[in-house]
Chains A and B, each alone.
Chain A
Amino acid sequence: MKKLSVLAAGLGLCALAIAADADRVSVVDPYVRLAPPNAMATGAFMVIRNAGERDVRVVRASNPASRITELHTHLHENGVMKMRPVPAIDIKAGGEAVLKPGGLHVMLIDLKAPLQEGGRLPITLEFADGSSLRVEAPVVRPTAGGMPMNRP
């Protein structure tokens, strides 16, 4: 019996050691903004939570609707909005990264076809350890509040 529990504990430790970044991360309220007609780009937003005890970092994102996917942020300097690419999005252990209009976002550039309101877009987040997580983001019209109105 004792042997068994040692074994179980050992296995548990192993599982912990090999758990991928993607397994510690959950994504809340993802959505993509419906792009105006002929718009070249749009943004996807979400809250990325890291329940693990190790910092994780999103190094890439991809999706089937746009030819290019980048990670971006906005710098607000004296009322001037400056959109800039970022190499990665860091999420501290036990923390979260909030991707929202006017701040961090997944930028979908060069859309292959117009997004459809009410549709869903799979977005894959890739982490520094090579693991990845796929989220289904509903396509919603832009609103003033950033968050779609039909959400809490």
Chain B
Amino acid sequence: MIYLTRKAEFAASHYYHNPEFTPEENQRIFGKCNNPNGHGHNYTLEVTVKGEVDPRSGFVVDLKQLKEVLNREVLDAMDHRFLNKEVPEFFTRIPTTENLAISIWQRLAPKLKTAQLHRVRVYETSDLFVDFYGEA
């Protein structure tokens, strides 16, 4: 089994808010991240796929294709967007780094053909990242 990681970057804004919480609870749990005007990050995304090497091409996955899928499914939707207002899954889900990793997994997994998705890693800053392995 070979593991291959492709990196991408995107910039987006977000805020954290749960309409079922009182304003006080929202403030206590989310702190500054609760500001409805949002704030932004430069996210770094690392997508790791795994598979056996195809004996003809010598590839686990065609990087061109992986890049296309990544651009179409993730970057076109999220780069330079206000996640809460422009990315449908975040109309209802809070766009935390955890949920971003899950959402990116859900966008990519059905579109990858030859290789299998192993891990989605999202860095919100260089001091904070989340890994999602597709676990229930």
Do A and B interact with each other, yes or no?
no
| B interface residues, Cβ below 8 angstroms from A | none
| A interface residues, Cβ below 8 angstroms from B | none
